[in-house]
Each structure stands twice: as structure tokens, then as C-alpha cells.
């Protein structure tokens, strides 16, 4: 294994789904359900059985809109406010209207959700305004249940193929994708009438404070290819300056508190045991207060459970240590920390792109369509804000079903064969050198610079310096990167995605000359939110080989936001008592 073999083969399908984590399996499944004659390929860099953010399972649904507990209108309003008004509501509203039927379907797959003594869904309040959090006591079964459905629907699964570039056809439609096998270096070209990208967040952009390249919040398999493939194909990407930054358990770098511990009485506290944020729902405004506390002298910041009854604290510990990130227990064991007796130190995560938690993604409409005909995106990499796991499932389903209609009577679009030759050459270049710099060193340097210069608060001069340094690294990468086997070749190809994402993060941030979304886009040189000039999307794309940004109007709201409601997420700090 791992020798590099330069073969190339070509296959055809109706719908190609790239990424078999959360959104991808649902997209492929729904497409096959709707049209059992459609040939659907699910391409996955890892193995669909255990890939993506939910590889081991999930603790709960963070954003379930369940009749009797909340309404689609209320949810759409809350997300619009949480995202500081930058929201095309149609997609959020459609999600909110459809997600309940997806919950019912997941329930039928055998993924059970928490119910109360009356048999009703036991939904918890964590957000500022509405009630949307639904625990999943057997959340560890998610992947297995999905996999069963994929087999039943006879989706064609290709594991260990990493997509590297999209193919666009001569008429401007999507035509397929190029991928490389991560264990043999063999290329696979997939011609398709529609492509649905579900490659997750760009989780390997910043460097975790531990310095361990793979100790990220996101599953590090998600190195941002979705973003870079869309970019190089000419699609538009939205609001990339709205970074993902999360409050996490320090060093372990896994989620701590809000959704599991919050409803049971846990909260975020400072070193004086004081609560300082009103609402632990992850938002940029909340992260700004977290950051303020860290630098105020009252930090560090902790997850506080030791005021609760020991049984409650132990119960929370039990959930947190078994389902989503089950190695968390091991971590605390090593540190000798029990939730019932000590507060747990927290910290700010590395930056990334993600619309699952934030709003940075490939620009899509309410059918999950990007700006390229036939190219869809769903889940963390598509621009629907705060859409989390249920958003990945629901929007994946929307994409899969829409794509089935789209391909009806459509033929393959022709593409330029030269594109394949060029891509093969680009990817294999590091295998042609005798010596040079290995990808792990280049990756480390990029991500270290991202931390040094791009981590908010954002300073213009630092951003400009970063761009210069990244350009130097690009030269090293293109001229000197060397790999010895196909595994390193995968890392090398990921490194080029990471570098592209770092460039995009810097470029989009410099374009938006205001501050918005709390810490996510806190620009020291433009400290105020400027609704007159910047209450709009920023779309980044590639024109004539260069990165450009443009403003795009927000669609008129479907659900109006009253003047007194629009800043509700700004009031995060606990009021000081007189």
C-alpha cells in the first residue's frame, strides 16, 4: 500500500455526490429514492462508515424546529438576528419547514431522539429566543443507520477517493470532477450531469493552540477542498470573513458546554466563578464576550458544573464522554479533572470556514444550487447560516431531490480533456522531485501564520503582511514540495487547499470594511457595524485567474425583523448589578 501508481480511469453517472459525512449520504439516498433509475455515486475521501463530523455520533440536534415547541417563522427570525441580518431567509425558512419531516425519517432509520414522559420530543432551550435543542440518547448509531440506508438504496460508494477539482463543461454547466485515490495515487475522473458537494467545513485552516496539526475542532479530513474546488470552478463563495471560532475545552479542543450542559444548569464562567454571558448559544457576539473575558484579567474561562448536584454533573459527564467525542473522558482522566469537583478550563478554537456553526460557505439558493448550473452544495460548506447537523441532513435532502429533477432529459456537458492533463500534472508535481520540503512542514507554516496574522481581532496591516508571507509559501509549495508515497500525496493536495483557504480568508476579510458578527469579523480599523454600506453579502470568486470580491444585496426578508429585535444578540453580557 501507499506506492504511487499513476493510472487514470473514467466513469459516468447521473449525480455525483462528493463527501459522505452527513449531508452527502442524505443527498445520495434521497436522489435514489426519488429516481431509482438514476446512477448515483457517493465519493468519499475516507470511508463512509465512519467519516465526517459525526463519525462516532452526535449528542443532539442543535436546531430542531418541532411543532409545539417553535415555528419556522420564529427560527428564521432568530437565525437572521444571530447572523446580524446577513441572511437570505428563503433557504433558512425552507430548512425550518422541512426539518421536522427529516427528524421523523431519521427516527424511522432507528436514530432515536429524547422524548419526555408523555412521549413528546423533549426539546431544550439554549438559544436566545426560541427552543430548538433535541438530545439524542443513542446518537452513537447515526452513521450505522445511515450506512444501512445507503446500502438498501444501492448508492454506489467509492471510498478513499479525494476530489481535487471540478470539471465545468463547454456550455458552463457542471460536467463532473477529478479525484485521486489516497492509497494508490490513481486518478478517477467522474463525468456527471449534476454534482452535489458535501465536503464539510474548512477545519484545518488555523492551528490549534496545542500545535498538533490534527487536534482541530473539526474532523481534520475536512481540509477545505469544497471551498477551493468551488473557487477554481468559478462559483461564488459567501461571507468567508464570517469565520468559525468556537469555545472549546482547552487543549482537547472538543465542544464543552452549551447544548448538553446548558439545559441541565451548566454554564460558562470566569476565574471568579461568575457567569458573564447570558446565552451560551454559539454566536460571534458570544465569542466576542468570551474573548473579552480572556483578555480582561478575569480569565481564563471555564465550563462550570461543580455547583450542580453530583448526580447531575456525573450525568452530563457521562453524555459528554460517550457519544460525540468519546475520548474526552480519557483526556480528563489524564488531567485528573472531574466535572463535579473542578471547573474545566476552556479556550478559543482555531479559525475555520463553516456555515454549520457560522456563515462562511459556497453561495447557494434555497434549492442548494450554487452559481454554476448543476452544481449543488449542502452542509457545513454551503452558505446557509448556523445549519448544523440537521441542516446538513435537510439541505442534503433538498439538493438530492432537486438534482433528480435537474438532470431529467439532460445529457453530459463536454469538457476540455486538457483540464485532466493539467490537474494530473498539478497534483503529481511533488512526486517528481527528489528532495524538497514535505507537506507537513508547509502546512504547519501556513497554519501558524494564519494564527499569527488572521486570528481576530483583525488588523489591516497584519492581514497585508500575511498575504505577502502566504505568497512566499505558495512559491515553496509549487516549486519545492516533495512527497514519497500516496498518503503524503493526499496531505500535499490538502496543503494546497489550506493555502487557498487562507488566501480567501485574508482577501474577504480585507474587503468588508466594517465589524460584524462579534469576534468572527472584528476589524480593529473599522470597529463599528456599518449597515448603510455593508448590510449585504460579500461574494468572493475567481475572475480571469484573480481573486475578486463583490457586494450582493440580501433578498427582501420573508419574516420581518422589528427594529427592537434586530440587536438582540448584541446583548450577551450579563448585566452588572448595581
Partner 1 sequence: MPLVNNPTSVPVTVDEKKCIADKGCRVCVDVCPLDVLRINDLTNKAYMKYDECWYCMPCEADCPTDAVTVNIPYLLR
Ligand X SMILES: Cc1cc2nc3c(=O)[nH]c(=O)nc-3n(C[C@H](O)[C@H](O)[C@H](O)COP(=O)(O)OP(=O)(O)OC[C@H]3O[C@@H](n4cnc5c(N)ncnc54)[C@H](O)[C@@H]3O)c2cc1C
Residues that bind partner 1 (CB under 8 A): 1-2, 46-47, 49-52, 55-56, 160, 182-183, 210-216, 219-221, 251-253, 325-327, 330-331, 334-335, 435-438, 482, 487, 490-491
- Report which residue's Cβ sits closest to ligand X: 21
Cβ closer to partner 1: 178 or 248? 248
Which partner, partner 1, ligand X, none, binds residue 18 by CB below 5 to 8 Å per kind? ligand X
- By a kind-dependent CB cut-off of 5 to 8 A, residue 74 interacts, out of ligand X, partner 1, none, with none
Site string for ligand X, 2-21 (x = CB under 6 A): ----------------xxxx
Our CB check for ligand X shows the closer of 50 and 433 to be 50
User: Of 69 and 143, which has the nearer Cβ to partner 1?
Assistant: 143
**Cα(483)–Cα(428) distance, rounded to whole angstroms?**
9
Cα–Cα dist 232/225, whole Å: 10
User: Closest approach of Cβ 139 to ligand X, in Å?
Assistant: 8
**CB of 35 vs ligand X, minimal distance in Å:** 22
458 conformational bin, left if phi > 0, alpha if psi -120 to 50, beta if neither: beta
Rounded CA separation 161/16 (Å) = 13
CA atoms within 13 A on the CB side of 156: 14
Decide: 369 and 402 in contact? Cβ < 8 Å.
Answer: yes
Q: If DSSP codes are grouped into helix, strand and coil, which group holds residue 539?
A: strand
Residues 6+ apart with CB under 8 A from 47: 159, 160
Number of residues that bind ligand X (CB under 6 A): 44
Cβ nearer to ligand X, comparing 220 with 234:
220
- Stretch 380-409 residues interacting with ligand X (CB under 6 A): 380-381, 388-390, 392
**Which is nearer to ligand X, 105 or 514 (by Cβ)?**
105
Cβ at position 389, least distance to ligand X in Å: 3
Q: Is 282 exposed, middle or buried (0-12, 13-18, 19+ CB in 10 A)?
A: buried
Going across the sheet that includes 301-304, the strands are 247-249, 344-348, 301-304, 267-269
Task: Name the binder of 213 from partner 1, ligand X, none, CB < 5-8 A by kind.
Answer: partner 1
8 A C-beta contact, residue 481 and residue 437: yes
Smallest distance, ligand X to C-beta of residue 297, A: 30
User: Which residues 328-357 are close enough to bind ligand X by CB under 6 A?
Assistant: 356
65 binds ligand X (CB under 6 A): no
Helix axes 310-320 and 328-335, enclosed angle (nearest 10): 120
Smallest distance from the beta carbon of 207 to partner 1, in angstroms?
Answer: 11
- The residue among 219 and 496 lying less far from ligand X, judged by its C-beta, is 219
Q: What is the DSSP letter of 349?
A: P
**Which one of the spans 32-40, 196-204, 270-278, 559-567 is the region binding ligand X (CB under 6 A)?**
196-204
Partner from partner 1, ligand X, none binding residue 255, C-beta < 5-8 Å depending on class: ligand X
Parallel/antiparallel/unpaired status of strands 237-238 and 537-543 = antiparallel
Residue 43 interacting partner from partner 1, ligand X, none (CB closer than 5 to 8 Å by kind): ligand X
- Sign, CA torsion 43/48/53/54: positive
Q: Which of 31, 38, 53, 449 binds ligand X (CB under 6 A)?
A: 53
Cα–Cα nearest to 457, from 288, 205, 270? 288
Examine residue 45 and tell whether it contacts ligand X (CB under 6 A). Answer: yes
Q: Which stretch binds ligand X (CB under 6 A): 32-40, 378-386, 440-448, 568-576?
A: 378-386
Question: Of 283 and 493, which has the nearer Cβ to partner 1?
Answer: 493
Q: Scanning residues 154 to 173, which ones bind ligand X (CB under 6 A)? A: 162-163
What is the tally of helices (H) and strands (E) in the chain? 15, 17
> Rounded to an integer, what distance in angstroms lies between the CA atom of residue 171 and that of residue 373?
10
CA–CA distance, 149 with 139 (Å, rounded to integer): 16
DSSP-derived letter for residue 278 is S
Nearer to partner 1, 70 or 253 (CB): 253
State the binding partner of 225 from partner 1, ligand X, none, CB within 5 to 8 A by kind. ligand X
CA distance linking residue 52 with residue 214, whole number of Å:
14
**DSSP state at residue 175:** E
Handedness of CA 86, 458, 530, 293 (dihedral sign): positive
Nearer to ligand X, 34 or 49 (CB): 49
Stretch that binds ligand X, among 51-59, 479-487, 524-532, 551-559 (CB under 6 A): 51-59
The residues that touch ligand X, with contacts defined as CB under 6 A, are 18-24, 43-46, 51-54, 58-62, 162-163, 198-200, 217-219, 221-222, 225, 254-255, 259, 324-325, 356, 379-381, 388-390, 392
Amino acid at each position: 500500500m501507499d506506492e504511487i501508481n499513476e493510472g487514470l480511469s473514467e466513469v459516468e453517472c447521473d449525480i455525483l455526490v462528493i463527501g459522505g459525512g452527513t449531508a452527502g449520504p442524505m443527498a445520495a439516498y434521497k436522489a435514489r429514492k426519488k429516481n431509482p433509475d438514476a446512477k448515483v455515486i457517493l465519493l468519499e475521501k475516507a470511508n463512509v462508515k465512519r467519516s465526517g463530523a459525526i463519525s462516532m455520533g452526535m449528542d443532539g440536534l442543535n436546531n430542531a424546529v418541532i411543532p409545539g415547541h417553535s415555528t419556522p417563522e420564529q427560527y428564521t427570525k432568530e437565525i437572521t438576528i444571530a447572523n446580524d441580518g446577513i441572511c437570505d431567509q428563503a433557504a433558512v425558512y425552507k430548512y425550518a419547514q422541512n426539518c421536522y419531516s427529516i427528524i421523523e425519517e431519521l427516527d424511522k432509520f432507528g436514530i432515536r431522539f429524547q422524548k419526555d414522559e408523555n412521549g413528546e420530543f423533549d426539546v431544550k432551550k439554549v438559544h436566545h429566543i426560541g427552543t430548538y435543542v433535541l438530545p439524542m440518547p443513542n446518537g452513537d448509531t447515526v452513521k450505522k443507520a445511515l450506512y444501512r440506508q445507503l446500502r438498501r438504496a444501492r448508492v454506489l460508494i467509492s471510498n478513499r477517493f479525494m476530489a481535487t477539482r471540478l470539471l465545468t463543461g463547454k456550455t458552463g454547466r457542471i460536467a463532473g470532477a477529478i479525484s485521486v485515490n489516497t492509497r494508490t495515487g490513481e486518478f478517477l475522473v467522474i463525468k456527471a450531469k449534476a454534482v452535489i458537494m458535501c465536503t464539510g467545513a474548512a477545519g484545518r485552516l488555523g492551528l490549534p493552540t496545542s500545535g498538533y496539526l490534527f487536534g482541530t475542532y473539526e474532523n481534520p479530513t475536512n481540509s477545505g477542498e469544497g471551498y477551493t474546488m468551488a473557487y477554481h470552478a468559478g462559483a461564488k463563495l459567501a461571507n468567508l470573513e464570517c469565520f468559525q471560532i468556537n469555545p472549546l475545552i482547552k487543549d482537547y479542543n472538543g465542544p464543552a458546554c452549551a447544548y448538553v450542559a446548558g439545559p441541565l444548569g451548566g454554564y460558562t464562567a470566569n476565574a471568579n466563578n461568575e457567569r458573564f454571558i447570558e446565552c451560551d448559544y454559539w454566536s460571534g457576539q458570544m465569542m466576542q464576550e468570551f474573548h473579552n473575558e480572556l483578555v480582561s484579567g478575569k480569565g481564563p474561562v471555564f465550563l462550570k458544573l461543580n455547583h450542580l448536584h453530583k448526580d447531575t454533573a456525573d450525568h452530563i459527564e457521562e453524555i459528554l464522554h460517550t457519544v460525540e467525542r468519546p475520548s474526552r473522558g480519557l483526556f480528563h482522566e489524564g488531567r485528573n479533572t472531574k466535572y463535579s469537583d473542578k471547573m474545566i478550563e476552556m479556550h478559543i478554537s482555531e479559525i475555520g470556514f463553516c456555515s454549520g456553526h457560522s456563515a462562511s460557505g459556497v453561495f447557494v439558493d434555497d434549492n442548494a444550487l450554487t452559481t454554476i448550473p448543476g452544481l449543488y452544495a449542502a452542509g457545513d460548506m454551503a452558505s446557509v447560516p448556523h445549519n448544523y447537523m440537521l441542516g446538513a441532513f435537510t439541505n442534503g435532502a433538498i439538493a438530492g431531490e432537486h438534482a433528480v429533477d435537474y438532470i431529467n432529459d439532460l445529457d453530459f456537458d463536454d469538457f476540455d480533456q486538457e483540464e485532466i492533463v493539467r490537474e494530473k500534472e498539478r497534483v503529481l508535481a511533488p512526486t517528481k522531485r527528489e528532495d524538497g520540503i514535505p507537506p507537513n512542514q508547509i502546512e504547519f507554516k501556513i497554519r501558524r501564520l494564519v494564527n499569527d496574522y488572521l486570528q481576530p481581532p483583525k488588523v489591516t496591516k497584519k492581514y497585508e503582511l500575511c498575504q505577502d508571507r502566504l505568497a512566499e509559501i505558495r512559491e515553496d509549495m509549487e516549486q519545492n514540495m516533495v512527497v514519497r508515497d500516496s498518503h503524503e500525496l493526499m496531505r500535499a493536495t490538502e496543503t494546497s487547499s489550506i493555502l487557498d483557504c487562507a488566501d480567501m480568508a485574508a482577501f474577504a476579510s480585507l474587503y468588508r470594511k466594517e465589524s460584524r458578527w462579534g469576534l468572527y469579523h472584528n476589524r480593529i480599523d473599522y470597529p463599528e457595524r456599518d449597515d448603510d454600506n455593508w448590510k449585504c453579502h460579500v461574494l468572493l470568486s475567481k475572475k480571469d485567474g484573480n481573486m475578486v470580491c463583490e457586494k450582493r444585496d440580501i433578498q427582501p426578508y420573508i419574516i420581518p425583523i422589528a427594529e427592537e429585535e434586530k440587536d438582540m444578540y448584541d446583548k450577551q453580557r450579563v448585566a452588572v448589578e448595581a
